[in-house]
Structure 1
Amino acid sequence: MTRHRTLRPAALALGTALAALTLAVPAEAHGPAADPLPAVTPRAETPALYDDEAGGNADADDPAIWRNANDPDRSLVIATAKEAGLRVYDLDARQVQAIEPPSTADPDDAPGRFNNVDLVTGLRLSSGRADIAVTSDRGNDRLRIYRIDRDRPGGPLTDITDPAAAPIFSGGQDEINDQQTAYGLATWTDRTTGRSYALVSRRERTSIALLEITATAGGKAGYRKVRTLDLPSSFRLPNGAAWSPCAEPGELPQVEGMVVDPANGMLYAGQEDVGIWRLRADLTAAPQLVDKVREYGVPGVYDEETEECTAGTDPGFGGSRISADVEGLTLLTESDGDGYVLSSSQGDNTFALYDRELGDDNEYEGGFRVTSASQTLDGSEECDGAAVLNAPLGTRYPRGLLVVQDGHNTSADGGDDRESTGFKFVDLGELMDRIDD
């Protein structure tokens, strides 16, 4: 969700080389405003989640779509609910399993909090190959790993996390309690080596860590850190001024939404108040800024009393396609191998599509909205996470499925006025028809 911001001093974690980097985006990103975007409506929605004691502190965030190759009609959507853990839904958006995050021995320690989730297909475990769901546990600064077995009694997901799994960014429990911990997540299997990885960003920092997912004894899975990379936190504008996004004191512009294109091993990472970066998924080369948010370069002053930023005059250095925060990135692959990098533009409740072809420099290809289908089936606003799968999913979604988080859900029963969140299921075939129009 949108965070409070303050102006930060100039600093580049990548060093002086990146400090002098001139950040470029496609020329069309600064052109005139686009025509009104096409709209699609959801076909189904999950039960409302409520982020309060009565609702179990459940807050919808990020989905992933698992295709059941043996019976596509019995495919699943696996989604995070923050302090309420994971939720698993069938293709009718009905809940089939709820998994609580791990508890803490000390009540003063930060509770488990699942932020993002992604999948790995056919991971080799000591007990054989399996599909797994990997989630970032922000509360404990770790990954949690679940084996997927659609027909397992008691629920399709089983926790197989190695008990020895260590914190990703923190040196101990005191640092974990500060919650500058594991945040965004994307998985990646290197087609050359067959090894599988998770890329994990750090809350309130610009760091991204590359973790190799490893098989351990007893059918468990763990991970080891390969390397980390820090994106910039300050930028040199065309007028020579240094700029940092406005944030609360001590915060740097974090990354959450991420996705890897398996065809070329490129990671796309959404730095929420900056834009979309493209970089090698093995984190061995300098990143490139594909597109900027509209607010890029706008000065801001943080007000301690209101916990809000007061924006200054826009110098006109931002993009025109996406508005902060940049969130749920996902990859839409077409049957011919082409397709799009899809990003939610949280600030204006839209979704943007970029060509995934590197030769086209990830050119912007258009966008869309997810709007209300009825009074009780609303659209998507302030979308945190998205997932798309262009593959037949049985009779319900024969042309594939798009799942998006809704940060301002309208409760289907109409009688509960608490703020709620959820996930909307969109027929991908309908979306592709609208894009083609």
Structure 2
Amino acid sequence: MTSLSKRAVYATCSMIALALIAPTATAQTATIAAVRETAPVASPGDAADDPAVWRNPADPAKSLIVGTDKSWGLNVHDLSGRLIASAPAGLVNNVDLRADVMVDGKAAILVAATDRSEDPKGKLALYALETAPAGLRHLAHIDVESDGVGDVYGFCLWRRAPDDVFAFIAYNNGDVRQYALDLSGPAPTAKMVRDIRLATQTEGCVVDDRTGQLYVGEEERGVWRIEADPGSKAAPEMFAAIDGVNLIADVEGVAIIPKGDKGGYLIASSQNDNAYAVYDLESGRLARHFRIVGSGTVDAVTDTDGLEFAPGDFGAPFGEGFLIVQDGDNAPANQNFKMVPGDALMRLIGSK
């Protein structure tokens, strides 16, 4: 997550770049409305960052949203946006979750986040999401390698099987480290199994569990696609490069919008453009560039860090899932997360 001063620098640089570069394509910017929002985080300033969503298969209306407050910990919201539980998890930046994970011999909903509370800043915070009543049960805070690579920043999980789960931590020097999680006992552990080196600061990442592909946002260069298998020797490939028009530095959150067995889209936060770029997963073609506007009592979204697309039927108005994004300016209140109906997003992309 960038500071406000860093954002201002990047915004200036982006304007200079637009003046100097003659792009081959022009962004056609559409708009879409946010219809719901979460309660603001308790901490002022640059505090909210990244959301994750658990869909309740038995009663989708009782699904849960987990979001970070970088100055304090993790918050749990219901689909109305109401705060219903929280945990003082530390200075957590990015969060992800996976359901149907075996933890200490029992099926659980695993929640994990990067925690920068200590110096050197490098911990992995693990929780189990409880659903009745809603809450977060602490599993462990695990020290992860911090041998000169910088602070832990971005984060995502890969569930290859219920008992085969990996964590990817993006560091602010460009390293992306893969950890195999051992959740078989009461005290989880993490072992580094791969170190992927990119040139500059990374943050947002997501794994497509259907295909085993990892997507990582390098803030000033674009989104990379990488084989998630720890044994892979394939080099990262640029999937969506910053062009100063459709995707502008810095690239922040990335998420998968699945369609079928392997198709769908990748959505990336083009932060200093206050916009989002959507790319076809199979062709890499730009599908849409858009901004999120307000509706009624929900205000517009700017300066987004983390985001998530939650597929499936959650009930009206989210019968075809929803996009949830961090809002960097929710004045006069503190930062929060805004929600966009999936069916409206699919129409905007042209997928319906």
Task: Name the residue aligned to 2:320.
Answer: 399
Distance in 2 (CA, whole Å) between partners of 1:261 and 1:67 is 17
Counterpart among 279, 298, 302 of residue 354 in structure 1: 279
CA contact (8 A) 1:370 1:380 kept: yes
Q: Find out whether 1:320 has 2:245 as its counterpart.
A: yes
How much has 1:338 moved relative to structure 2? Answer: 2.0
CA deviations 1:375-428 (Å, max 9, x no partner) are: x421210100100012011344211111000001134xxxx6xxx311001111
Counterpart among 357, 367, 370 of residue 292 in structure 2: 370
Task: Name the residue aligned to 1:146.
Answer: 127
Cα gap change, 1:335 to 1:288, in 2 (>3 Å): closer
Distance in 2 (CA, whole Å) between partners of 1:323 and 1:2 is 14
Task: Name the residue aligned to 2:190.
Answer: 223
Percent of aligned positions with the same letter in both sequences? 31
Counterpart among 341, 357, 363 of residue 266 in structure 2: 341
Task: Name the residue aligned to 1:168.
Answer: 144
How much has 1:139 moved relative to structure 2? Answer: 2.1
Task: Name the residue aligned to 1:270.
Answer: 217
Task: Name the residue aligned to 2:347.
Answer: 433
- How many residues are aligned here? 331
CA deviations 1:285-339 (Å, max 9, x no partner) are: 2111222224xxxxxxxxxxxxxxxxxxxxxxxx531111101100001256521
Task: Name the residue aligned to 1:211.
Answer: 179
Task: Name the residue aligned to 1:188.
Answer: 158
Cα gap change, 1:389 to 1:157, in 2 (>3 Å): same
How much has 1:160 moved relative to structure 2? Answer: 1.2
Structure 2: gaps spanning 5 or more residues? 10-21
CA deviations 1:167-225 (Å, max 9, x no partner) are: 22325xxx7xxx9222100111226x96110110112x11011011112433x433211
What TM-score, normalized by structure 2, do the two folds share? 0.87
CA deviations 1:29-68 (Å, max 9, x no partner) are: 9423132x2211111112223644xxxx771000011001
Q: Which runs of 4+ in 1 moved over 4 A?
A: none
Distance in 2 (CA, whole Å) between partners of 1:388 and 1:338 is 15
Counterpart among 32, 41, 44 of residue 36 in structure 2: 44
CA deviations 1:97-144 (Å, max 9, x no partner) are: 12112xxxxxxxxxx310001112211122411111111112241111
Counterpart among 197, 206, 211 of residue 166 in structure 2: 197
Counterpart among 41, 66, 70 of residue 82 in structure 1: 70
Distance in 2 (CA, whole Å) between partners of 1:434 and 1:207 is 35
RMSD, aligned α-carbons: 2.4
Task: Name the residue aligned to 2:13.
Answer: none
Distance in 2 (CA, whole Å) between partners of 1:348 and 1:65 is 25
CA deviations 1:83-106 (Å, max 9, x no partner) are: 2201111000110112112xxxxx
What TM-score, normalized by structure 1, do the two folds share? 0.71
Distance in 1 (CA, whole Å) between partners of 2:250 and 2:111 is 26
CA contact (8 A) 1:344 1:383 kept: yes
SS in 1 for 2:48: coil
Task: Name the residue aligned to 1:108.
Answer: none
SS in 2 for 1:433: helix
SS in 2 for 1:33: coil
Q: How does 1:62-73 map to 2 (within 5 A)?
A: 62-73=50-61
SS in 2 for 1:119: strand
Structure 1: gaps spanning 5 or more residues? 7-28, 102-111, 233-252, 295-318
CA contact (8 A) 1:353 1:367 kept: yes
Structure ranking higher in strand proportion: 2
Distance in 2 (CA, whole Å) between partners of 1:49 and 1:126 is 32
CA contact (8 A) 2:210 2:261 kept: no
Structure with larger Rg: 1
Q: Relative to structure 2, which stretch is displaced further, 333-342 or 260-269?
A: 333-342
Distance in 2 (CA, whole Å) between partners of 1:142 and 1:116 is 12
